[in-house]
Amino acid sequence: MNTTQVLETLQKSYPGARYYLNFKTPLELLVAAILSAQVRDEVVNESTLALFAKYKAAKDYANASVDELLKFVGKVTFAGNKVNNIIAACKILHEKYNGKVPQNIDELVELPGIGRKTEIVILTNAFDIVDGVVVDTHVIRVSYRLGWTRNTNPEKIEADLNKAIEKQWIKKTQWLLKAHGRAVCKAPTPVCSKCPVFSLCPRQGVTKSL
């Protein structure tokens, strides 16, 4: 399993691959990441443009009402639940952490709306603390087809990838697999005829391709 060769090839194929949610501060990333579950990145980025222009600090969100925030993010899936989590999380940040997003795993996952995936996203992209591979739907699909894992559970997939991938590639893995998943290794049918890593891929689970 030559994960490094695959990732080097994908980096050449997608040189502009980067984290996909727009943010300037750790707080903005926390808010965007909570909003991003089960919704397209473009919808989140469109919604947060005006949101971030108005709400600058954790106390701003903590003092906002659900209805106020829904005016900005109403198009986001499960917006009501997510807004409740954002307000609750920012109250904790304001009262317990002086308005700052903690850089500690245990403290982050205690915040409402923050699970393992979101915690890794925040640590990796806001603080450059690489705690593991971020496992999203693209990573699940592409890593399985590449034969890097045989698991379907995100936590088990993360453990497999953390073992298989060299440390210097951990941060970029999600960006590259997501870019490849969108462009070529699509669901449900991959475009194997255009795949830059075709010769390196066992195509695990693939029964039909273009």
Tens digit of pLDDT for each residue in 138-190?
A: 999 999 999 999 999 999 999 999 999 999 999 999 999 999 999 999 999 99
- Helices (H), ranges, 36-153: 41-54, 58-62, 66-73, 79-96, 105-109, 116-127, 137-145
Same fold, 3-16+133-200 and 26-127: no
Which fold, 3-16+133-200?
Endonuclease Iii, domain 2 (1.10.1670)
Q: What are the sequence ranges of the domains in the chain?
A: 3-16+133-200, 26-127
Q: pLDDT at position 38, please?
A: 87
Global confidence as pTM? 0.89
Tens digit of pLDDT for each residue in 33-84?
A: 999 988 999 999 999 999 999 999 999 999 999 999 999 999 999 999 999 9
- Reference 108, options 188, 144, 100; nearest CA is 100
- Please give the CATH superfamily to which domain 26-127 belongs: Hypothetical protein; domain 2 (1.10.340.30)
